[in-house]
Amino acid sequence: MRYLPSADGEDRELLNAIGVKVAEDLLSGVPDRLLMKRPLDLPPTSSELEVLRDMERMAALNKRFRTRFLGAGAYAHFCPTAVDHQISRQEWFTAYTPYQPEISQGTLQHIFEYQTLVCDLTGLEVTNASLYDGGTSCVEAALMAVRVQRKRTKVLVSEGLHPHYREVLRSGFASHEELSLVDVKLVDGVTDPVDLAAKLDDSVAAVLVGYPNFLGHVEDIKALADLAHGKGALLISVTQEAMAFGWLEAPGKVGADMACGEAMSFGNMTSFGGPFLGFLAVKDAHKREIPGRVVGQTTDLEGRTGYVLTLTAREQHIKRDRATSNICSNQGLIALRANIWLQLAGPEGLKGTAAQNAAKAQFLRSRLLELPDWEAVDDGTPFFNEFPLRYTGDLKAMRQTLMDEGILPGLDLTPHLKAYKNCVLWCATEINTRHQIEHLIEILARVASVVG
Amino acid sequence: MNLRQREPLIFERSVPGKIGLDLPKLDVPPAKDTRPAHLRRTSFDALPSCSEPEVIRHFTKLSLWNYGMDQGMYPLGSCTMKHNPRLNEKVAGLPGFADSHPMADEALVQGNLALIHTLQEWLKEITGLAAVTLQPSAGAAGELTGVLLIRAYHVANGRKRTLILIPDSAHGTNPATAAMAGYEVVDVASGADGTVSFEDVTDPATGKVKKGLTSLIAEHHDEIAGLMVTNPNTLGIFEHRIDEICKAVHDVGGLVYMDGANMNALVGVARPGDFGIDVMHMNLHKTMSTPHGGGGPGAGPVACTKALEPFLPRPIVVRDTEKIGEGEVPKHTYRWDWDRPQSIGKVHTFFGNFGMLIRALTYCYSHGGDGLRTATLRAIVNANYIRKELMGVYHLPITSPTMHEVVFNDEFQAKNDVHTLDIAKRLIDYGFHPPTIYFPMVVHGALMIEPTESESKEELDAFVHAMKMIAKEAEENPDLLHQAPVTAPLRRMDETTAARKPVLRWQPA
């Protein structure tokens, strides 16, 4: 086996030194009745070349698309070549959590810089080394809000949150019988302020609102925060498309008390939904309630600046059942990808990419609306790089035609949101060219004329 | 190597006007500004402006201050720092996988579904359990999923149960998880041999009595939802009465969760399903070699019995079958089953850390069933070799048979005022990553060493030599150890000030 440093001579030397005849003699701690009496019923060892061929065959069973207009929580963006090259360094990807700061300054300084950037993007003061993904970041944010709000037990959730985020929230809250989740309706594709006001009372700890929301719409987070604050509730902004931070004001600067969500868009592939990058940023006053690893700046014995894991008194290995969360492993290497992407992009690169996203999405929408079968939905509601449109033709057949032509269409919203039956959630990013959009329109026009 | 000993924060290097990422010229009309005026992004305080070579150099210099697996033994106990095969990285990057979209129709992602299904089948055979979910993102997420399954099972059976029993040797995530799942935690005593004690245990120093499993079960009986046990436990010792533990808990209607953080000691040797375990997780970033990434991403699949299967997170991958004659024959197509009315719901936005699942299956294919067992045995041989070579040099507080890791402590060195932290830091000067220290907490001043199967005898000998030299130094020149490390880029860090006056981000002057 190519990964094992095994050879008859060396194995013998080790066993002799230990004083046993065969390795199996070392299993004396396992009672005989519990030992496996047969080999694993699995295929035998394979060479690197055989495994590569097998895995290539499996990968080829997935259909690849030249053109993609699907977002809905996983976005195809351009990633500079330097990102892959850098994270392939063994110093980054093989290292463990930086428990020994003297020999982990690389990871620690990177996390400190990453934390700085997440705070900059969100307009908040404290963040952690990452959470698993957008959905679980909502759970951690909501549970944290309940902790800091003491006796308040209700959390309001806008129906504009990604349906998967809402389901993850429900799974995470199911075991907390003292807590409840209450949905807030949408109007014109954004959180309904009337319904929100009606549901806000002294028992509400926090309100979660998409920014932009699942439909790609820009919520007026300021107005919603004012409503929440009026009843002493916290406003948690949930961003499933972090590229929007280059287009929209930082949530912390327009009233959000906490910001969480998904930052896979910075330097990652859609990779079937993982590994992605959950984030959570909070105000300084709440820093001792934040879950997960946090890196802080300090000095060594000789007064030189360095970085360490800090505020560990919140964490499971110290506090056990009174910890702020059970999280330990997070998404370290994915946070590194995001950090490299953001440093390459800088303020101009981020704003420029975001502006291209908005431009391509607006162009796509206006071209689609020129076709006979497409109807505007939530007209006038501002959006970033995604928007819903209703299709009046045979939606299934239309989507199939596009897929046959090598185009991955937007999401069929029918199974996800009741009010959006026969609607498609279209997404365009900087990687979609005008040519791709025109090609899409051509095919759709053809579909329309065949049916019409 | 790093010739310069300090790399400034990137923010100090930023020069407005520089950029490291460019895009094609916009080929559609510029966006109309539809944003409400107060929601327009205007400025950033920290995002740096740098060219590509500057950013690459910055990160490359930072990387050189990290110690990685390819530089030498990384004997962090319980973390399983084994070789990270490069093939696994390449396969995870194959465009067919990397481009695939989680919201795409299932017909478009048959390769992914086949991969998930295949890995589940491997894990079922390895654990001896009936069903598997790959959704949890890490060990702790797997634990939470497992405990939520236990909870859902009791709720479905109309039982109100409030307690989870956890041995005092457990990792902190166990009690933290039980609390997150809404349970109260009750500690179970460990016996002198380091395993779960059925009898009550009196601490010889304090005279305090800690309750064993028998009296806890008698006392709490039908309040017990379950027990969480790590096997082999955090001392690297197999819980030799695990089947009796399971039976005792089952007898009062409780279920048993196994923390499979140390599953790398059992693969191909023994199967939790055969012990009576109801549900467990394993860490693919330990047992299946997916890289630790400086703190993730990991993956924490959960395996469970048939009785718990209905509660698994949704969706589940189902392999299609067709009727041929009398029988159902599996086909080569797969689909998602979302219609799972008893499911605890999703525990990840999509389907887990899929990229890590690709790496894990690649690892499985490379090893095969036979190679997996060989790897397990070699890991056990390596740990026992270290135990043998260091016994007498360092104190071995618990002498039960060692599986894949061995726990010493600083008792011999403490008389010279040399402690575990000093020994760990001195190892850095000898060119090794230190072992896990001060864990498990049931051993005072623990030094928990896990070599894994990746280490050759030559590397093990080099490590043993370093440990022996350090023990000698502890006798002859203890101050050398108090000063360690002296060869690392930085000396010991002031962690107290870091926590008291936290500086958690850079701010412009």
pLDDT of residue B31: 96
Q: Is B120 found in the same domain as B240?
A: yes
Q: What is the DSSP letter of A265?
A: T
Predicted confidence band of residue A313 (pLDDT cuts 50, 70, 90): confident
For position A173, which CATH number holds? 3.40.640.10
B85 occurs within a structural domain: no
Q: Is B355 found in the same domain as B262?
A: yes
Contacts of A218 in chain B (CB under 8 A): 34-36, 39
Other residues' Cβ atoms within 10 Å of the Cβ of residue A149? 18
Summarize pLDDT for A214-253 with one digit per residue, the tens. 999 999 999 999 999 999 999 999 999 999 999 999 999 9
B86 occurs within a structural domain: no
Q: Is B332 found in the same domain as B216?
A: yes
CA A168 – CA A17 distance, rounded (Å): 52
pLDDT of residue B123: 98
Q: Is B225 found in the same domain as B257?
A: yes
Considering only alpha carbons, which residue of chain A is nearest residue B25? A356
Mean pLDDT across the stretch B256-280? Answer: 98
Mean pLDDT across the stretch A265-270? Answer: 97
A53 occurs within a structural domain: no
Listed residue (B294, B298, B296) closest to B65, CA to CA: B294
Contact B349 A73 (CB under 8 A): yes
Contacts of B440 in chain A (CB under 8 A): none
Considering only alpha carbons, which residue of chain A is nearest residue B507? A116
Tell me which of B364, B398, B431 is where a domain ends: B364
For position B200, which CATH number holds? 3.40.640.10
Q: Is A251 found in the same domain as A356?
A: no
CA B194 – CA B443 distance, rounded (Å): 9
Residue to substitute from B39, B61, B154, B340, interface A, most A β-carbons within 10 A? B39
pLDDT of residue B146: 98
| Residue from the list B50, B270, B296 with its beta carbon closest to the beta carbon of A332 | B296
User: Strand A154-158 relative to strand A204-210: parallel, antiparallel, unpaired?
Assistant: parallel
B503 occurs within a structural domain: no
B501 occurs within a structural domain: no
Q: What is the DSSP letter of A63?
A: P
B72 occurs within a structural domain: no
Contact A17 B63 (CB under 8 A): no
- Asked whether residue B309 carries a pLDDT value surpassing 70, the answer given is yes
The whole-angstrom distance between B411's CA and the closest CA on chain A is 22
Contact B101 A88 (CB under 8 A): no
Q: Is A360 found in the same domain as A333?
A: no
Q: Is B140 found in the same domain as B288?
A: yes
Tell me which of A340, A369, A391 is where a domain ends: A340
Q: Is B390 found in the same domain as B254?
A: no
Q: By the CB < 8 Å criterion, does A370 face chain B?
A: no
Taking the alpha carbons at both ends of chain A, their separation in whole angstroms is 63
Contact A310 B498 (CB under 8 A): yes
- Asked whether residue B419 carries a pLDDT value surpassing 70, the answer given is yes
The whole-angstrom distance between B42's CA and the closest CA on chain A is 7
CA A218 – CA A240 distance, rounded (Å): 12
CB-side neighbour CA atoms (13 Å) of A163:
11
Sheet with strand B163-167: strands edge to edge:
B131-133, B302-304, B279-282, B255-260, B224-230, B163-167, B184-188
A51 occurs within a structural domain: no
Q: Is A265 found in the same domain as A366?
A: no
Q: Is A366 found in the same domain as A308?
A: no
| Residue from the list A61, A97, A333 with its beta carbon closest to the beta carbon of B111 | A61
Summarize pLDDT for A129-178 with one digit per residue, the tens. 999 999 999 999 999 999 999 999 999 999 999 999 999 999 999 999 99
| Residue from the list B94, B180, B270 with its beta carbon closest to the beta carbon of A326 | B180
| Residue from the list B240, B364, B494 with its beta carbon closest to the beta carbon of A30 | B240
Q: By the CB < 8 Å criterion, does A245 face chain B?
A: yes
A132 occurs within a structural domain: yes
B412 occurs within a structural domain: yes
A392 occurs within a structural domain: yes
Predicted confidence band of residue A89 (pLDDT cuts 50, 70, 90): very high
Residue B467 phi, psi (nearest 5): -65, -35
Q: Which B-chain residues 181-240 have CB contacts (< 8 A) with chain A?
A: 181-182, 185, 232, 237-238, 240
Mean pLDDT across the stretch A396-417? Answer: 97
A306 occurs within a structural domain: yes
Contacts of B84 in chain A (CB under 8 A): 90, 93-94
Listed residue (B307, B310, B322, B287) closest to B119, CA to CA: B287
Percent of chain B with pLDDT over 70: 100
ipTM value, please give it. Answer: 0.97
Mean pLDDT across the stretch A168-189? Answer: 96
B323 occurs within a structural domain: yes
For position B384, which CATH number holds? 3.90.1150.10
And the tokens for B398?
């618990």
pLDDT of residue A452: 47
Q: Is A307 found in the same domain as A258?
A: yes
Q: Structural domain of residue B7, as residue ranges?
A: 1-21+46-63
Q: Structural domain of residue A199, as residue ranges?
A: 81-340
A441 occurs within a structural domain: yes
Label each residue of B380-430 as H, E or C: HHHHHHHHHHHECCEECCCCCCCCCCEEEECHHHHCCCCCHHHHHHHHHHC
Q: Is A241 found in the same domain as A98?
A: yes
Q: Is A392 found in the same domain as A263?
A: no
Tell me which of B334, B364, B394 is where a domain ends: B364
Q: Is A175 found in the same domain as A198?
A: yes
Name the H helices within A370-422. Answer: 395-404
Q: Is A417 found in the same domain as A320?
A: no
Q: By the CB < 8 Å criterion, does A39 face chain B?
A: yes
Contacts of A68 in chain B (CB under 8 A): 101
Q: Is B227 found in the same domain as B125?
A: yes
For position A408, which CATH number holds? 3.90.1150.10
Contacts of A332 in chain B (CB under 8 A): 292-297
| Residue from the list B55, B103, B358 with its beta carbon closest to the beta carbon of A343 | B55
Q: Which A-chain residues 191-210 have CB contacts (< 8 A) with chain B?
A: none
Tell me which of A295, A317, A340 is where a domain ends: A340
pLDDT of residue A382: 97
Mean pLDDT across the stretch A52-59? Answer: 98
Considering only alpha carbons, which residue of chain B is nearest residue A20? B381
Q: What is the largest CA-CA distance in chain A?
A: 84
Residue-by-residue DSSP string for A168-205:
HHHHHHTT-TT-EEEEE-EETTEE-HHHHHHH--TTEE
Q: Is B176 found in the same domain as B301?
A: yes
Q: Is B433 found in the same domain as B328?
A: no
Q: Is A376 found in the same domain as A335?
A: no
Residue to substitute from B12, B281, B350, B497, interface A, most A β-carbons within 10 A? B350
CA A160 – CA B456 distance, rounded (Å): 55
A379 occurs within a structural domain: yes
| Residue from the list A59, A329, A382 with its beta carbon closest to the beta carbon of B138 | A329
Tell me which of B316, B331, B364 is where a domain ends: B364
Q: By the CB < 8 Å criterion, does A62 face chain B?
A: yes
- Asked whether residue A329 carries a pLDDT value surpassing 90, the answer given is no
Contact B313 A334 (CB under 8 A): no
Q: Is B288 found in the same domain as B416?
A: no
Taken in order A304, A96, A75, A68, the sign of the CA dihedral is: positive
Mean pLDDT across the stretch A98-109? Answer: 96
Could you give the number of structural domains in chain B?
3
pLDDT of residue B205: 83
User: Is-contact A394 A401, C-beta < 8 A?
Assistant: no
Q: Which B-chain residues 487-506 have CB contacts (< 8 A) with chain A?
A: 488-495, 497-499, 502-506
Could you give the number of structural domains in chain A?
2
Q: Which A-chain residues 66-125 have CB contacts (< 8 A) with chain B?
A: 68, 70, 72-74, 76, 78, 80, 82, 84-86, 88-107, 109-113, 115-117, 119-121, 125
User: Is-contact A15 B381, C-beta < 8 A?
Assistant: yes
B81 occurs within a structural domain: no
3-state secondary structure of B504: coil
CA A95 – CA A110 distance, rounded (Å): 13
3-state secondary structure of B255: strand
More confident residue, A320 or B216: B216
Q: Is B392 found in the same domain as B297?
A: no
- Asked whether residue A416 carries a pLDDT value surpassing 90, the answer given is yes
Mean pLDDT across the stretch A430-447? Answer: 97
pLDDT of residue A451: 54
The whole-angstrom distance between A242's CA and the closest CA on chain B is 13
Q: Is A270 found in the same domain as A369?
A: no
- Asked whether residue A273 carries a pLDDT value surpassing 80, the answer given is yes
- CB contact set of A252 (below 8 Å; sequence gap of 6+): A122, A123, A124, A125, A259, A281, A283
A419 occurs within a structural domain: yes
Q: Is B355 found in the same domain as B389?
A: no
Summarize pLDDT for A345-360 with one digit per residue, the tens. 999 999 999 999 999 9
Q: How many interchain CB pairs under 8 A, A with B?
A: 679
Tell me which of A287, A314, A340 is where a domain ends: A340
Q: Is the peptide bond before B24 cis (omega within 30 degrees of 0)?
A: no
The whole-angstrom distance between A198's CA and the closest CA on chain B is 25
Q: By the CB < 8 Å criterion, does A341 face chain B?
A: yes
Contacts of B371 in chain A (CB under 8 A): 1, 4, 44-45
Summarize pLDDT for B28-44 with one digit per residue, the tens. 999 999 999 999 998 99
Q: Is A159 found in the same domain as A121?
A: yes
